[in-house]
Amino acid sequence: MKILLIGEYSRLHNSLKEGLIALGHEVTLVGNGDGFKNYPVDIKINSKYEKGISRTLKRIIYKLFKTDLNSLSIQKQFEALKPHLVDYDVVQIVNERVFSTVASIEKKLLEFIFQNNKNVFLLSCGCDFPSVKYAYDKKFKYSILTPFFENKVSKKEFSQVFLYLEESHINLHHFIYENIQGVISSDLDYHLPLKDHPKYLGLIPNPINTDRIGYEDHIISDKIIIFHGINTENYHKKGNDIFEQALEGIQEKYKDNVEVITTRNIPYQDYLKHYKKAHIILDMVYAYDQGYNALEAMAAGKVVFTGAEQEWLDYYGLKKNSVAINAETNAKSIATQLEWLINNPEQIHAISKNARRFIEERHNYVNIAQEYFDLWTKRTPQN
């Protein structure tokens, strides 16, 4: 089968591509590499107005003329790429705003994809209209919008989230849903908002390529290393402020037992170098399930503080704190869980082994690729 994957989100499509190729399919990945993370793609679409003077120019032009230079640049690149984006058996787009342009241009680009390919599917694995609306209506007990509701951030600071509730995007959302064969979620944070939607095809867990992620048995011989990697754009959305509050007391109380590494906005390869030597990873607070960074860390045998709510435990039939640590929404609780691990290092070893086994059994990239293939072929009109 000839497959086109459009867009990247925390390496999801790269891992899916690797699984599909292992199954014998022909796969092309197009996108911008997920911004500063710079994941590999086969066909690159560059965002040329995201840094320095060009970004300032983009903002000035938009303020004066309501014209987005980045969107025009991407549209021009897309025009040149059109011959490479047609006649695929299956196309999957990673987000409702997969090209990161304004809604009017996004619609034009997607219209070409819909008109020139047989079967297009959508992934719900990050912010989109259903998940943001569900969060905005407070149907989660907490969500990425909790910092907004708690007045930690302004609506302007969360503009990239509220974008999905603007009328122009809602119209784009409906256009996409009218033209796709269906939408697939990657975890419970996107499954719950979609589960009653007629276009929803179900949850397929994130594919993790465990062949490329080595497992290290974490026997503590010296200090316990805690890694906190921060993307400042998502600082409050991920709950990094809560993690930092929790770490303040831990660093002081256990300075002879613990080393804390904190980074900000580093490329994926640099991120890997830091987390490889860590025993504990602080990933995300406002989630029910794990995102990609958490899953890859778990595959490497790290003890990850992330989304591991009761709904996730029930879905996978797991016991609390056996595979990952649920990062609750207050610093004191997180500090208590960290202390438990520091004072009981044998738990780090046990959770490490369980985490790796869980990823191998439930997130294996080849098995997950087969799930995608089975679902795609089941939903194509000719079947």
Q: Which of 266, 261, 335, 345 is nearest to 303 (CA)?
A: 345
Cα-trace Rg, the chain: 21
Contacts of 18 (CB under 8 A, 6+ apart): 207, 209, 212, 365, 369
346, part of any domain: yes
How many CB atoms are closer than 10 A to CB 35?
14
The DSSP secondary-structure symbol of 202 reads E
H helix intervals, 52-187: 52-65, 69-81, 103-115, 129-136, 146-149, 159-162, 167-179
pTM, 2 dp: 0.90
Interval 137-160 mean pLDDT:
93
| Same domain, residue pair 203 and 233 | no
| Same domain, residue pair 284 and 152 | no
Q: Which stretch of 126-135, 220-229, 342-351 has the lowest confidence by average pLDDT?
A: 220-229
Q: What is the pLDDT of residue 64?
A: 65
Per-residue pLDDT tens digits for 277-322: 899 999 999 999 998 889 989 999 999 999 999 999 999 999 999 9
Is pLDDT above 80 for 250? yes
Per-residue pLDDT tens digits for 42-89: 999 987 767 767 776 777 777 766 777 788 889 999 999 999 999 999
Q: What is the pLDDT of residue 37?
A: 73
For the chain, the straight-line distance linking the first and the last C-alpha, in angstroms and rounded, comes to 14
Q: 209 or 270: whose pLDDT is higher?
A: 209
d(C-alpha 214, C-alpha 272), whole Å = 12
Tokens for 288? Answer: 């029910």
| Same domain, residue pair 108 and 242 | no
Q: At residue 134, what are phi and psi to the nearest 5 degrees?
A: -60, -45
Per-residue pLDDT tens digits for 37-50: 778 889 999 877 67
Does residue 380 sit in helix, strand or coil?
Answer: coil
215, part of any domain: no
225, 284, 356, 377 from 95: Cα distances, Å: 35, 20, 28, 21
| Same domain, residue pair 351 and 240 | yes
| Same domain, residue pair 38 and 150 | yes
d(C-alpha 179, C-alpha 189), whole Å = 24
- Asked if 282 and 305 touch (Cβ cutoff 8 Å), the reply is yes
Is pLDDT above 80 for 369? yes
Is pLDDT above 70 for 271? yes
| Same domain, residue pair 202 and 242 | no
Is pLDDT above 60 for 29? yes
Q: What is the pLDDT of residue 65?
A: 64
Q: Which helix (H) or strand (E) holds 346?
A: helix 345-362
Is pLDDT above 90 for 269? no
Interval 374-379 mean pLDDT:
92
Question: What's the domain range around 254?
Answer: 224-362
| Same domain, residue pair 143 and 244 | no
| Same domain, residue pair 94 and 230 | no
Q: What is the pLDDT of residue 57?
A: 72
214, part of any domain: no
219, part of any domain: no
Q: At residue 276, what are phi and psi to the nearest 5 degrees?
A: -60, -30
CATH number at residue 251: 3.40.50.2000
Q: What is the pLDDT of residue 266?
A: 83
- How many structural domains is the chain composed of? 2
High-pLDDT (> 70) share of the chain, %:
96
217, part of any domain: no
Is pLDDT above 90 for 25? yes
Supply the mean pLDDT for the chain: 91
Q: Per DSSP, what are the bridge partners of residue 92? A: 5, 121
256, part of any domain: yes
| Same domain, residue pair 270 and 176 | no
Interval 92-106 mean pLDDT:
95
Q: What is the pLDDT of residue 383?
A: 45
CATH number at residue 171: 3.40.50
